Amino acid sequence: MAISDDTRAIVAAIITLAAKTGGRSRGDLLAEWRATFDALGSPSGPSEEAAEPDLEFPHQPAPLEVASEVRDIIIMYMALQTFVQSNPESQFKNEDVIFPGFDLNDEPTYYGCADDMINRDGEFPSLWMRHDSETGGKYMNSHSPLLASYRRMLTVWRQTDSADLLEEQVSNILLEANYHPAARQEPGHA
């Protein structure tokens, strides 16, 4: 049974996605890929060009409104980080203002845009984030959707009239990150 080039391309794409999202090494996946071709009865195994699939996908820039919102969120986090760094006596510590990133599964456009800005383009080199030991870049996957929280935080942050935040403003911004509006009680209601 001969394996078509289309089949090879599909398998290469699956391996590529698995390597990028599954936490397994490309080498392990490539070995499994070659074994799959052997099991399917390919007389010569994968072709030379198919043996090393291209791990890069065509880059598609995020829509302008997404890029603008991501940039605002990152700048807000940098303002929070500047406050903490400038005010060591504050109740807030570095870990309170580490930018968690975006959820790769639920917010992929935002994740990709932030990853492009931070890791690919090298913007915001002083932004505090978790470190990705595999890629050497900054770890972008929050593993939970945070866009709604970021938007609530931005609403409060945009109401500040100074580049230098005050403790109360930082408190109000961070409160929005952890306090969903649905959990709020109307005044006078138990």
Tens digits of residue pLDDT in 169-186: 988 898 887 765 554 444
pLDDT at 63: 85
- My answer on whether 83 and 43 are in the same domain is no
Q: Quick one: tokens of 24?
A: 């397994």
Q: Quick one: tokens of 30?
A: 């490539």
Host domain of residue 44: 5-51
pLDDT at 187: 47
Indicate the angle between helix axes 64-86 and 167-178, nearest 10 degrees.
Answer: 130
Q: Quick one: tokens of 154?
A: 């931005």
- My answer on whether 29 and 80 are in the same domain is no
pLDDT at 66: 93
pLDDT at 135: 65
pLDDT at 161: 72
Residues of the chain falling short of pLDDT 50? 48-57, 183-190
- My answer on whether 99 and 21 are in the same domain is no
- My answer on whether 81 and 38 are in the same domain is no
